[in-house]
Amino acid sequence: MAVIRPFRALRPASKVASRVASVPYDVVSRDEARALAQDEPLSFLHVSRVEIDLPAGTDPYTDEVYVKATDAFLGLRRRAPFVRDAEASFYIYRLTAHGQSQTGVAACWSLDEYDRGAIKKHEHTRRDKEDDRTRHMLALGAQTGLVFLTYRAVPAIAAIARRVCEAAPEVDFEAADGVRHTIWRAPTGENGALMAAFAAVPALYIADGHHRVASAARARAELTATTPTAPGDAEGGVDTVLAVAFPHTEVRILPYNRIVTDLAGRSPAELRDAIAARCPVRAGAPAPSRAGEVSMYLDGRWHAVDLEAVEAAPAEGRADRLDVARLHAGIVGPLLGIGDVRQDPRIDFVGGACGPSPLQALVDCGLAAVAFSMYPVTVDDLMAVSDEGGIMPPKSTWFEPKLRDGLLIHLIA
C-alpha cells in the first residue's frame, strides 16, 4: 500500500509563483543556473544553487554555502512573499507541454515505505550528491524540490483529481520553455478519499529524484538522532518525503543520448568497421525507429546500428536487455575503452528534449567524435527493472517535462 499524508505547504504567493519557480537544481550547471537567475531576484535557484551568488571558484560544499542558502531562503520567503497554508492538504500538479498533460498528486510520502522497498528505485545514488542535498535540507529545515514518482494508474485517483481540477487553481503559468504548470489545492474533505485510494496502490516507482529521496531519509535519521521527537510538519512529518505521483499512462520518457569525445585511437572508418564486425550497420536516420536500434552520428553521417545482434554476456535481468546496456557492453566499453560511464570524462550525456540535432552539432563542431541517439526506455521497462530489484545503467531515462522547484515546500524543522 502507498501511505500518503497531507501537509501545510509553504508556497510563493500566486502572483509571483512563475518568478520563483525554477528548474531542478541538478539539471543545470553552475553557469547555466547563474544565467537563468541573473535577471530574476526571486528565482529559487538563488536558494537551490546558492553558489551562483558567491565568488567564482567557491567550493559548493563548504559550510559557507549552506549558511548562505539558509539566509537566501529566509530572505526570499519575505520578499516574494511566501504563504503557509492553514490546513494540511493534498495538491494536484498538472504539467502540460506539446498538447499533452500529466496530472499528479503532490503529497508527503512515507520514508518507511522507501526503506522497505515499496517506493522502488532503479538507480544507484552518489554519496557526494546525497551529502549535499542532506546538508541543504537540514540547513533550510525544508524539502524544497519535488521527487517525481509514478504508479500503475488507478481510476479512483483520476476521478478525485478531476473533481479537484474543476475549481480555480492556486498556480497557473507557462514557463519560458513552453511548459504550463498548474497547481490546485485539494479541499480537505478529499483527504480521506485520496489516502484510501492510494492505500490500494501496491508500489510506487521513483522516476526522477533518487538523490532527493535518499537525502530525505538521511535527513530524517540525523534529525531524529539529535531530537527524537522532532515532528516537522505535524501532518507531513520528518519521516516523509515531498513528491508528486503521476499515473504511468501519462508519464513521458525521452531518450538519454550519448556523446564520446574521441575514438580511442581509431579513425571514423576503423570504428565503423569494428562495429560492423559485431553487428549490422547501415545508413540511418537521426533517431532510431525501434527498440534494439541506435542511431550513430560519425564522420558527418547518421548510421543505424542493430544492437540486438551484439554478442554480450548473458542478460541477468531486464536492465541488461536495455539498449543503453547493450550499447555499452558491445560498443562503448570494448571499442571506445570506456569503463565506468559515471567517472570517465570522455563520455557525456544529452537529454532528449531537443531531439538529436544537438548531437550532430557537437560532433560537427569538434566537441565530440561520435554521438549515439537512443530509443527511449519505456515506463514498463522502468517498472519491470524496479520490480526485479534491478538497477538501470546510468543515465538511462530523461523525464520531460520536469517539475519546478520552489512551488511547494515541506517544512521538516
- Summarised one tens digit per residue, pLDDT across range 336-349 is 999 999 889 999 99
Q: Give the pLDDT confidence score for residue 313 in this predicted structure.
A: 58
Helix (H, G, I), strand (E, B) or coil at 57: coil
Maximum Cα–Cα distance for the chain, whole Å? 67
Helix (H, G, I), strand (E, B) or coil at 381: helix
Element (H, E) at 128: helix 127-140
The residues of the chain scoring below 50 in pLDDT are: 230-234
Q: Give the pLDDT confidence score for residue 317 in this predicted structure.
A: 85
Element (H, E) at 223: helix 210-226
CB 403 within 8 A of CB 244: yes
Q: What are phi and psi of 295, to 5 degrees?
A: -95, 130
DSSP labels, 238-295 = TTEEEEEEEETTT--EE-EEEEES--TT--HHHHHHHHHTTS-EEE--SS-SSTTEEE
Cα 89 to Cα 9, 242, 404, 408: the distances in Å are 8, 13, 19, 12
16-20: long-range contacts (C-beta < 8 A, 24 or more apart)? 16/42, 16/80, 16/81, 17/171, 17/173, 17/407, 18/173, 18/175, 19/43, 19/80, 20/44, 20/76, 20/80, 20/406, 20/407
Q: Which pTM does this prediction carry?
A: 0.93
Residue 315 neighbours by CB under 8 Å, 6+ apart: 321
CB 351 within 8 A of CB 376: no
DSSP strand pairing (240-247 vs 147-151): parallel
Q: Give the pLDDT confidence score for residue 74 in this predicted structure.
A: 98
* Grid coordinates belonging to 90: 493534498
**CA quadruple 242, 244, 245, 246: dihedral, nearest 10:** -170
Cα 158 to Cα 120, 162, 250: the distances in Å are 22, 6, 11
Q: Give the pLDDT confidence score for residue 234 in this predicted structure.
A: 46
Rounded-to-integer distance, Cα 7 and Cα 103, Å: 19
